[in-house]
Amino acid sequence: MDRWWPDLLGSWIFYSILPLPRGCRPRFERIARFAPLVGLGLGGAQAVTWQLGAQLGCPRGALVALVLALGLWLSGGLHFDGVLDTGDGLAAGKRQLEAMADSRIGASGLSAGLLVLMLQAGALLSLGPAAPAALVWSAVWGRVAPLLAIGCFPYLRPGGGGGFHRQGRGSLAAELLPSALLVGLLAGLSGSLGGWAALLAGLGGALPALLVPLELGRRLGGHTGDSYGACVEWTAAFSLWASWGVQRLFI
């Protein structure tokens, strides 16, 4: 814990806008391995907001908009910005890195951003009362996906802002260890509170967490900080739909 704690603090303030108490000394080494724990906190905040809004009689469509806006705000739009830039890069052919580095948003980036938001909104509308649990799981799986991108693909932009994620990192198994412990904990809670169907619905996000970074890495020839962020948002979107699909099959 003494070795993990400073990096966990660094992960908390890098991946969210939430401050740390005074006296905490974060360290920004190997912070990506703790991003799923940050996702647990942010997804938990979204889940609590959904529950409170539902109890107050807030319409479901308004709840969807509220929790999505909350997620973007708490993350500082960090990952959503990656969706926009990666969308432009995928459409730019050989100029993909140049397009991704451009601060201006192109039509492809805008389309990608709208698509990921509509997918998340549609899934949440479909999930209904099951949305709070799915929000937590999707926030966790979304932040597991970049670990595979970091560990399995080269970094495409030497000197880029996301390159520090690869410095000093251990083996992929070591980087995934905190995520494995977290997923095990969530799986136990889901199984005890909601039964095996709720457990399967939560674990369904493992597939997009694997496929999204692999597909983006294949299409780009590697990854950048922008595509790490895109992995988070696209995996979260598909994880929500995976939860809905499993529930339709088994509930």
| pLDDT (average), residues 191-195 | 85
How far is 63 from 52, CA to CA, in rounded Å?
Answer: 10
Taking 90 as the threshold, does the pLDDT of residue 237 lie above it? yes
Give residue 230's pLDDT: 97
Q: Are 81 and 102 in contact (CB under 8 A)?
A: no
Q: Are 113 and 84 in contact (CB under 8 A)?
A: yes
As a whole-number percent, the residues of the chain with pLDDT over 70 amount to 98
Taking 90 as the threshold, does the pLDDT of residue 166 lie above it? no
Tens-place pLDDT, residues 4-55? 888 899 999 999 999 888 878 888 888 999 999 999 999 999 999 999 999 9
Q: Are 81 and 226 in contact (CB under 8 A)?
A: yes
Taking 60 as the threshold, does the pLDDT of residue 1 lie above it? no
φ, ψ for residue 154, nearest 5 deg? -70, 160
Domain locations in the chain? 34-250
How far is 145 from 234, CA to CA, in rounded Å?
Answer: 9
| pLDDT (average), residues 142-155 | 95
Which pTM does this prediction carry? 0.94
**Low-confidence winner among 96-105, 120-129, 131-140 (lowest mean pLDDT):** 96-105
Could you tell me which of 176, 151, 179 has the C-alpha nearest to residue 165? 151
Residue 62, judged by CB atoms within 10 A of its CB (0-12, 13-18, 19+), counts as exposed
Query: Which residues, in sequence order, are bridge partners of residue 155?
Result: 223
How far is 190 from 209, CA to CA, in rounded Å?
Answer: 19
101's tokens: 């580095």
**Mean pLDDT score across all residues of the chain:** 92
